[in-house]
Amino acid sequence: MEKEHIGVLVMSYGTPESMDHIEQYYTHIRRGHAPTAEQLAELTERYEAIVGGVFPLREHTNQQVAALEEMLNLEHPDKRFTCYQGLKHASPFIEDGIEQMVKDGVSRGIGVILAPHYSTMSVGAYIKRAQEKADEQGLSMSFVESYHLHPKLLQALTERVRTNLASFADEHVRVLFTAHSLPEKIVEMGDPYPNQLLETARAVADAAGVADWQFAWQSAGRTSVPWLGPDIQDVLHTISQEEQIRNVLVCPIGFVSDHLEVLYDLDIESKQTAASLGMKLERTASLNSDPLYMQTLSDVVYAKLSE
């Protein structure tokens, strides 16, 4: 008997294809409004600063998608899984992924996002676009909305926190769990994002035996509306000046890959701030294709299939 063919749409933020594509990418993020020359130059400089203008997110997404496909097929040999990429702001776009699934004749689709926490403004927006395209194409799809407390995800994060803490020896360390900020209005909308992030942070801190931790936001957009805070830059100043904290370990639980927001906003900007305050700042390694993360994705996709 022929195996059931399941299409898994793996959705991720997307990154420019080359330095020449930054403007196009930035325009897409800004919903069709081109950035000013100054904004474009500033973003280009940030990409140049992270390992000389390469786009690590593309490679990590490619590897994650390939590893997930391999794991799903290995663990569930009674079915055939094909993983398709669907990027939010770059090619192949979410809609391209759905079209390809339909062309390949998958019997049903499962969507999962390479971001563990749900917000209407992040994961919700990916799902909305995928659902609309799937409806148009007559493809039956269901979606994983969040997996922020999956035991293997927590294990991978806990291991990282423990490893970094060991390198501080007996020094006192404040652990800062971070995630991408969003406009403050999501709180009035009853969005689960802030609470899910706190749940992950608390679970990892408990498992790693960390008593001294707090949550900080990062990478807020440069817009006129208020964004969720406190921002990590402000937190570094406050804990240095008011609490005399000298060692900080940043664990960016809201992100799963090495990319601009980690390699620039944390490794360059936050490290510089910390150094200017006489503090030592380390960051936990990104999950990238860690088998524990791949296992998390494989579990949540398969669980969705069985619902």
Q: Which is nearer to ligand FEC, 25 or 84 (CB)?
A: 25
Among residues 82, 109, 70, 93, the alpha carbon closest in space to that of 12 is found at 93
Sequential DSSP letters for 173-190: -EEEEEEE--BTHHHHTT
For 48, 127, 134, the CA distances from 122, given in Å and listed in that order, are 26, 9, 19
Site of tokens 């060692």: 247
CB of 114 to ligand FEC, least distance (A): 7
**Residue that has been written with the tokens 């702001």 in this structure:** 89
180 sits near ligand FEC (criterion: CB under 6 A): yes
Q: Which is nearer to ligand FEC, 35 or 277 (CB)?
A: 35
Q: Is 223 in the site for ligand FEC (CB under 6 A)?
A: yes
Binding of ligand FEC at residue 30 (CB under 6 A)? yes
106, 82 contact by CB (below 8 A): yes
With H, G, I as helix, E, B as strand and everything else as coil, classify residue 290. coil
Q: How far is the CB of 11 from ligand FEC (least distance, A)?
A: 8
Contact window for ligand FEC (CB under 6 A) among 2-10, 220-228, 289-297, 299-307 = 220-228
Q: Which CB atom, from 15 or from 146, has the smaller least distance to ligand FEC?
A: 15
Closest by Cα among 285, 286, 287 to 297: 287
CB of 280 to ligand FEC, least distance (A): 26
Shortest distance, position 62 Cβ to ligand FEC, whole Å: 13
Among 6, 10, 55, 141, binds ligand FEC (CB under 6 A): 55
Q: Are 253 and 202 in contact (CB under 8 A)?
A: no
Judged on CB neighbours under 10 Å (0-12, 13-18, 19+), 73 is middle
150 part of the interface to ligand FEC, by CB under 6 A = no
Closest CA to 197 of 212, 213, 211, 178: 178
**Contact by Cβ (8 Å): 250, 232:** yes
* Closest CB 233 distance from ligand FEC, rounded Å: 14
Which residue of 8, 67, 236, 260 would you call a contact of ligand FEC, by CB under 6 A?
Answer: 260
In the bound state with ligand FEC, the residue whose beta carbon lies nearer, of 12 and 295, is 12
Q: Tell me the per-residue interface mask from 274 to 293 with ligand FEC, x by CB under 6 A, - otherwise.
A: --------------------
- Give the binding site for ligand FEC (CB under 6 A): 13, 15, 26, 29-30, 43, 55, 57, 115, 122, 180, 182, 221-223, 254, 259-261
